[in-house]
Chain A
Amino acid sequence: MRRRAAIARLCLGGAAALLLLAATGVPAQSAPDSPGPPPAPLIAAAADLKFALDEVIEQFTLDSGQSVRVTYGSSGNFARQIVQGAPYELFLSADEQFVEALAARGLTRGRGEHYGVGRIVVFAPKGSPLRPDARLEHLARRLADGTAGRLAIASPEHAPYGRAAEQALRSLGLWEAARPRLVLGENVAQAAQFAASGNADGGIIAYSLALAPELRRRGSFALIPESLHEPLRQRMVLLAGASPEAERFYDYLRTPAARAILAGYGFTLPGD
Chain B
Amino acid sequence: MDWTALTLSIRLGLLTVALLVPVAFLLARWLAFGRFRGRGFVEALVALPLILPPTVLGYYLLVAFGRASPLGQAFEVAVGHPLVFSFEGLLLASLLVNLPFAVQPMQNALAAIPPNLRDAARCCGLSPLAAIRRVELPLAIPGIATAAVLTFAHTLGEFGVVLMVGGSIPGETRTVAIAIYDRVQAFDDASAGLMALVLLTLSLLALGITNTLARRVAPRS
Contact = CB atoms under 8 A, between A and B. Distances in A.
Nearest to B163: A186
B163 to A, nearest CB: 9
Interface stretch (A7-15, A223-231, A244-252): A7-15
Contacts of A47: 185
A70 interface: yes
A271 B106 CA distance: 66
Q: Which of A1, A15, A21, A187 has most B Cβ within 10 Å?
A: A15
Nearest to B165: A84
Given A50-B186, A71-B168, A85 B138 contact: no
Interface string A31-48: 000000000101000010
Contacts of A83: 67
| Interface size classification for chain B | 35 or more
Interface in B129-183: 133-135, 137-139, 141, 144-145, 148, 167-172, 174, 182
Name B's interface SS. Answer: helix
Given A19-B18, A23-B15, A214-B187, A7 B141 contact: yes
Nearest to B15: A22
Interface in A113-171: none
B8 A81 contact: no
B134 A193 contact: no
B185 A85 contact: no
B144 A87 contact: no
A71 B11 contact: no
B138 A1 contact: yes
Nearest to A212: B187
B79 to A, nearest CB: 12
B141 A18 contact: no
B187 A5 contact: no
A85 B82 contact: yes
Interface string B82-98: 10111100000000000
11 contacts: A8-B138, A12-B137, A18-B14, A26-B14, A50-B186, A73-B168, A81-B167, A86-B84, A87-B85, A87-B172, A187-B185
List 10 tightest A-B contacts by C-beta distance, closest first: A85-B82, A4-B138, A29-B171, A19-B18, A22-B14, A214-B187, A86-B85, A8-B137, A69-B170, A22-B15
